[in-house]
Structure 1
Amino acid sequence: MKNSEQRARGTDRSVARRAELISIGRKLFADTSYDALSMDDIARHAGVAKGLIYYYFTSKRGYYLAIIEDSVGDLLDRAGGAGDLAPVDRVHRTIDGYLRYAEHHQAAYRTIITGGVGFDAEVQAIRNGVREEMIATIARGAWGKPDVPELARLALLGWLCGVEGVTLDWIGRREVERDTVRALLVRTLVETLRVIAEFEPAYQPPVTMD
């Protein structure tokens, strides 16, 4: 029994230490490019031996991917936490949750959207996964189902890329209230849904979307 408790405490400490290292890494990689940071730099900023980072993440790349994946999980949890709301309310809540996450976790958001490894297929796949999850969430709110025609998916992807650009600029300048930014993004989404309906008549926007 005593050995089991010791193992459990050790596991808790390991989980907490790993989470702490990821939190530090979010800030580092948000402000500095991937190539500009060495493992020695990371260890110095974290105040730990370099070997500890290798122990938890194997390599700098493994560390960076862990940071991206952890940040993505937080973002999707916040944006997708609309529960059993009506479809239109779910869309509003999704956009609001997305903006709130970016506002309160700016370093993590920048890491997700503008991470510093250039074109990396694995990192790009993680980002694409975020976009597909967001598109599916918006589609459920607009049409009650996540699977939509390719043209509709492309249109929503274009809107979402615009959301990323607006959000990055907004958190850097903070000259507009979050509610106003949300209203802007909802309005542009409504227009995107109307355009989709012109090409895909079976996919009409909810009449209460505005």
Structure 2
Amino acid sequence: MTENADHAVASRRLSPEDRRRALLETGLRLFGSAPFDQVSLEDIAQAAGVSQPLIQHYFASKRGYFVAVARHGLDKLEATTRTRAEGGAFEALESNLRAFFQFFGDHPAVAGLLKTATGFPEVAEMIDAYRSRTVDIVLDVLPVDARTAYTKAAIHAWNGLNQALVTRLRDDPSLTVDWAARFSRDALLSLLKLAEHGGVPQDKR
């Protein structure tokens, strides 16, 4: 959302819910391009076309606003990617991963915000909860006897790989979303195969 668009939104008569959502979208743009300590309440108010007291009315403080913006970004991510995981089948894995990587391509501000937000315990907890839900989704489609500590560790490692791929896609335009989705899918399947044997390749046992 551009600054002019922000002001256009602010100039319309909005319901409290729509006003709050518009403020959160403004926050995604601002905090996605600059860290918390480089964005002031005055900057936020100017970009949103509202008064500082109005921001404090909705979010109490700049920190409260920042945490709400981070939650909004994670909610957008989850709404985009989780819908494709319905049915609990590995057949949906690649399309779900494609949606995940495409989301960050379409919403680079969310990636920028989450990268700088880990210093906030409330936000770090939200990110950990999102990753834990991802682990649970994968575990749910595995046979019960395959849900071991090794398997869970492998899926957590895969979560970290996906975060690294988001960064590589941003920094290297020669890489594509389709490649990242296939690579991530194959990496997960390989990690799960390795986890079946307690993390030790069969030829090393």
Q: TM-score range by the shorter chain?
A: 0.7 to 0.9
Structure 1: which 5+ residue stretches go unaligned?
1-10, 201-210
Alignment of 1:1-210 (within 5 A): 13-82=15-84, 84-85=86-87, 87-112=89-114, 114-116=115-117, 119-141=119-141, 143=142, 148-199=147-198
TM-score, normalising length: structure 2: 0.82
- Where does residue 7 of structure 2 map in the other structure? none
Equivalent position amino acid for 1:187 in 2: D
Structure with greater proportional helix content: 2
Counterpart-to-counterpart distance in 1, 2:86 and 2:44 = 42
Summarize deviations over 1:52-81 as a string: whole Å, max 9, x none. 110111111111111111111111122111
Deviations 1:94-143 (Å, cap 9, x if unpaired)? 2122112112111123323x034x522211101101111111222234x1
1:28-70: CA deviation from partner (whole Å, max 9, x where unpaired): 1111111111211221222221111101111111111111111
Query: How many Å separate the matches in 2 of 1:31 and 1:84?
Result: 33
Q: Give me the identity figure in percent.
A: 19
Distance 1:55 1:106 in 2: 28
Cα 1:13–1:172 change in 2 (3 A) is farther
Contact 2:71 / 2:123 at 8 angstroms: preserved in 1? no
Gaps (5+ residues) in structure 2?
Answer: 1-12, 200-205
CA contact (8 A) 2:98 2:180 kept: no
Count residues with an aligned counterpart.
187
Taking a change above 3 Å as real, the CA distance of residues 30 and 84 of structure 1, as seen in their structure-2 partners, is: closer
Give the secondary structure class of the aligned counterpart of 1:48. coil
TM-score (norm 1): 0.80
